[in-house]
Amino acid sequence: MTEATPLSKDLVSILDLDRGQVELILDTAESFAEVSERTIKKVPTLRGRTLVGLFFEPSTRTSASFEIAAKRLSADWVSFSLASSSLTKGESLIDTVRNLDAMAPDMVVVRHADPGVPRMLALRVACSVINAGDGAHEHPSQALLDAFTIRKAKGHLEGLLVAMIGDIELSRVVRSNIHLLQMMGARVRVAGPRSMMPLGIEEMGVEVVYSTAEAVRDADVVMMLRIQLERESRARFPSLREYFDVFALTPERLEGAKDDVIILHPGPMNRGVEISSEVADGPYSVILDQVSNGVAVRMALLYLWTLRPEDAS
Amino acid sequence: MAGEIVEKNPAIEDVILIGIRTRGVPMAEALAAEIKKMEGVEVPIGILDITFYRDDLSTIGPHPVVGETDLPLPVEDRVLVLCDDVLFSGRTIRAALDALVDFGRPKAVQLAVLIDRVGQRELPIQADVVGCETSTSSEETVRVRFESTDGVAEVEVVSL
């Protein structure tokens, strides 16, 4: 293993990392995956540490995944959701955060609908901040678990062609994944309706196409994105039915892909919208592996950042 | 040492050798080979990484290399012989005992070390089988190299 450069205080963006650090995270996650296979799925590594989850936006999978990860490391996990927080009583976000900081947690994991909130928090609290998704900006732990899943299936990331299909504009998963995959030497192709393709996306160094079959051609990895029905304030496509008919990943559209293609989806899936059940439950799907791997990767993040030497920032 | 392990454990087929990463692993392999020669019994080998159980993680920071733990069989009703190259403060063994508890309840746990640095213990822990005792000071460190991992078999006392 190469000696990684010291981690910065927070993990807000994939751009906070370099390649060696990504490898360190993925390698560390490998050993935590073993812990999750034991009968007693718990190690005392973070005993006595307090980790706070701040979920200002509904999240089931990510918050459960972080919580399970924290508990398997014996840390104390305290989670706040929007409904129970004082924000509904009129307290400002900054005051909430400063109050939390005064309770001296060892780490804050934050999810918010607005891009930039984790960075703002990071500048105001003493402990490390991990971004668990901020609006359409980034979702670094998701990109890391995707990379972990791909690496486990393919043995490497370098040189792979990864197609991401769907709502490119509003997806934080896309942004984090583009940064990470390119850093690790993979090629990225994005596809979706023109109404969901942000202007200037080519400048991120990705290939842009507008059909699912074309996107899938010769791909090693196909990553389907969720149509975020809850964010759909304006009509960017005529109907869910039409989206399925034109863009969904179906067995027929998958034919041009490499023989050993794998299918990822960050969840939650809208079956019959962006992906057909035959593909989601089919032999190429690693969607449930992503979920198991998510715990191992988040254990690695909590472990590495909680025990990060103080003077390394 | 292999002879002593056999002598202590008449039911040698109940024994699992557990190598503590990293240098305990080649040592466990060497002992297993020796026992096979003597008794014709293939003693299973497990690998234990104790990083997650260390008591000094907050001071030294995350350990850069965490290896996988791999115990081939359930430990229930087996005799586990922990193997490590050097016994010094005893803290590694304390961590290893904690780790083993998470895998079940073995019939017994024994400790075999190649080098016992007598007089340096910080915990009430002692070995059952010792290759060689040395009296070294805490200003010295003992390095063990194995043929299979390092290309040479040697023990070296180095002043810090």
Q: Give one DSSP letter per residue of A116-180, joined into a string.
A: THHHHHHHH-SSEEEEEEETTTB-HHHHHHHHHHHHHHHS--TT-EEEEES-TTT-HHHHHHHHH
Is B27's pLDDT higher than 90?
yes
**Cα A126 from Cα A130, distance rounded (Å):** 13
Q: How big is chain A by its Cα radius of gyration, in Å?
A: 19
pLDDT at B35: 95
**Cα A50 from Cα A72, distance rounded (Å):** 13
Is A95's pLDDT higher than 60?
yes
pTM over 0.95: no
Using alpha carbons, list the distances in angstroms from residue A208 to A28, A198, A223, A257, A266: 34, 11, 14, 17, 20
Cβ distance B64 to A39 less than 8 Å, yes or no, reads: no
The pLDDT > 90 percentage for chain A reads 76
Using alpha carbons, list the distances in angstroms from residue A32 to A12, B51, B123: 22, 11, 28
- Assign A234 a pLDDT band (cuts: 50, 70, 90): low
Q: Catalytic residue at A189?
A: no
**Cα A239 from Cα B75, distance rounded (Å):** 58
The pLDDT > 70 percentage for chain A reads 94
Q: Catalytic residue at A111?
A: yes
How many A/B residue pairs have CB atoms within 8 Å?
48
Cβ distance A4 to B64 less than 8 Å, yes or no, reads: yes
Beta-carbon contacts of residue A53 (< 8 Å; ≥ 6 apart): A63, A66, A67, A77, A78, A79, A80, A108, A109, A110, A132
Two tokens, residue A312: 């390394």
Tens digit of each residue's pLDDT (9 = 90 or more) over B54-108? 888 877 766 656 777 888 888 999 999 999 999 999 999 999 999 998 898 999 9
State the average pLDDT over residues A264-293. Answer: 95
The angle formed by the CA atoms of residues A32, A33 and A39, to the nearest 5 degrees, is: 95
Two tokens, residue A232: 């759909």
Cβ distance A24 to B64 less than 8 Å, yes or no, reads: yes
**Cα B63 from Cα A251, distance rounded (Å):** 45
**Cα B14 from Cα B25, distance rounded (Å):** 19
State the average pLDDT over residues A102-116. Answer: 93
State the average pLDDT over residues B118-143. Answer: 92
Q: Which of A45, A308, A312 sits opposite B52 (nearest CB)?
A: A45
Instruction: Please state whether B47 falls in left (phi above 0), alpha (psi between -120 and 50) or beta.
Output: beta
Tens digit of each residue's pLDDT (9 = 90 or more) over A216-231? 999 999 999 998 777 6
Smallest CA–CA separation between B135 and chain A, in Å? 33
Looking at per-residue pLDDT, the higher value among A77 and B59 belongs to A77
Which value does ipTM take for this structure?
0.77
Cβ distance B66 to A27 less than 8 Å, yes or no, reads: yes
CB B66 within 8 A of CB B49: yes
For A110, list phi and psi in degrees, rounded to 5: -125, 140
pLDDT at A86: 62
pLDDT at A313: 41
Q: Catalytic residue at A89?
A: yes
Q: Among A40, A3, A39, A41, which residue's Cα sits nearest to residue A20?
A: A3
Hey, what domains does chain A have and what are their CATH numbers?
14-138+292-308 (3.40.50.1370), 140-291 (3.40.50.1370)
Cβ distance A307 to B61 less than 8 Å, yes or no, reads: yes
The pLDDT > 70 percentage for chain B reads 97
Smallest CA–CA separation between B40 and chain A, in Å? 32
- Assign B152 a pLDDT band (cuts: 50, 70, 90): confident
CB B94 within 8 A of CB B63: no
Beta-carbon contacts of residue A298 (< 8 Å; ≥ 6 apart): A65, A66, A69, A141, A145
Using alpha carbons, list the distances in angstroms from residue A140 to A2, A11, A55, B51, B116: 22, 8, 16, 26, 47
The residues pairing with B110 across neighbouring beta strands, listed in sequence order, are: B81
**Cα B142 from Cα B158, distance rounded (Å):** 6
- In chain A, the N- to C-terminal Cα span, in Å, equals 22
pLDDT at B116: 95
Two tokens, residue B96: 């290893």
Looking at residue A238, what DSSP letter applies?
S
Q: Catalytic residue among A49, A139, A151, A265, which?
A: A139
- Helix H or strand E segment including B94: helix B91-101
Q: Catalytic residue among A9, A49, A72, A111, which?
A: A111
**Cα B27 from Cα B30, distance rounded (Å):** 5
pLDDT at B73: 87
CB A286 within 8 A of CB A268: no
